[in-house]
Amino acid sequence: MHVALAACIGTLLTAAVHADAPWDPAAVVLEAREMGEGVYAVLPADAFTRDHVGTTAGFVVGERDVLLVETLVNRKLTEALLALVRSTTDKPIRYVVNSSYHGDHSYGNSLLPDDVIVIQHPATAAYIGSAFMQDRAFMIDLMGPGKGIEEVQPRAADLLVDGLLTIDLGGRRVEIRHFGFAQTPGDLVIWVPEAEVLWVGNMVQAAPPAIPWLLEGRHTETIATLEAVRAFLPETATIIPGHGKPMPGSGIDYSLDYLRQLDALVRQAVVHGRTLEEVRAGAVLTGFDDYSLYAFAHGDVNVPMVYKTVSEAR
């Protein structure tokens, strides 16, 4: 994502979120939940009572090594995550995977020991390498000063994945996959076949009624990627979304239904010559408006992004 687009997104997020922040890093309490033998989701304690919470994470323990999923936004949360790992096992953390470049998923990289191997998509690594300082300034503005974000530093990826990487932790296999663009160009998912657990980062914000956040547009690519993930998953799989409780793989259908309906609505409006403001005023999708952040995600982000994409394609 270019710096100019980051600034545009920052303006959108700051205006919408500062009025009623969806979560506060200083208030997040993390808990580990075992999803299968050696497979742990790390969730904010309020994940089962709210429809959008702080960032999720996780870890997978093998006979030899541990793989960490995400590193979160500041020292407080990174150290809480590491403490949960240490309360479970004394095996070394050998790998960490960032699902995207977003700071609440990756800023803690700089707080890990040097011998931990950082795994990212090339697009994530490129963004962090070129725009980290601007991104950190935006996150401080978004989350507020004094939340520990000021001290985080960029850390380069050690291993890049743009397709499939399989890691053997010793008796436990983890697959890191790139299915395509969903919310960022560098979205990665982390799949543990034995436990049928998939971390998806922000390609799914949270379980229904949460809807996607099309922060970088490209909604048709998002649809294609979510369709590919849905087809990949067995019916018994569990998804760990970026900001909510675990959900069945079928929960992706809710996001897909929303995106398809939004696409059809906006295309029809553009054909009839409607302006963006007219579309925003009338683009109510019944059945998707129970989400606590619906007004922001739908009206302030998704409708304008889809309108721009559809209009420019005509």
Give the pLDDT score at 256: 99
Instruction: Please report, for the domain that includes residue 97, its CATH number.
Output: 3.60.15.10
Give the pLDDT score at 21: 57
Question: What domain range is 204 assigned to?
Answer: 3-252
Torsion of Cα atoms, 191 then 194 then 195 then 200, to 10°: 10
Give the pLDDT score at 284: 87
| 3-state DSSP assignment of residue 34 | strand
Phi then psi for 219, rounded to 5 degrees?
A: -65, -30
Give the pLDDT score at 23: 86
Q: What is the pLDDT of residues 171-185, one digit of tens each?
A: 999 999 999 999 999
Domain assignment present for residue 67? The answer is yes
DSSP string, 139-184: HHHHH-TTSS-TT------SEE-SSEEEEE-SS-EEEEE----SSS
Domain assignment present for residue 287? The answer is no
Judge if the upstream peptide bond of residue 241 is cis by omega within 30 degrees of 0: no
Domain assignment present for residue 272? The answer is no
Domain assignment present for residue 116? The answer is yes
Give the pLDDT score at 314: 83
Domain assignment present for residue 285? The answer is no
Give the pLDDT score at 58: 99
- Run means of pLDDT, 10 residues per run, the chain, 314 residues: 47 46 88 99 98 98 99 98 99 99 97 98 98 95 92 96 99 99 98 99 98 98 99 98 98 99 97 96 92 96 98 91
Closest by CA to 28, choosing from 45, 15, 48, is 45
268-273 LR contacts (CB < 8 Å, sep 24+): 269/307, 270/307, 270/310, 270/311, 270/314
Whole-number Å distance between alpha carbons of 22 and 80: 20
Domains: count for the chain: 1
Torsion of Cα atoms, 191 then 193 then 196 then 199, to 10°: -10
Domain assignment present for residue 71? The answer is yes
Domain assignment present for residue 279? The answer is no
Domain assignment present for residue 286? The answer is no
Q: Are 110 and 155 in contact (CB under 8 A)?
A: yes
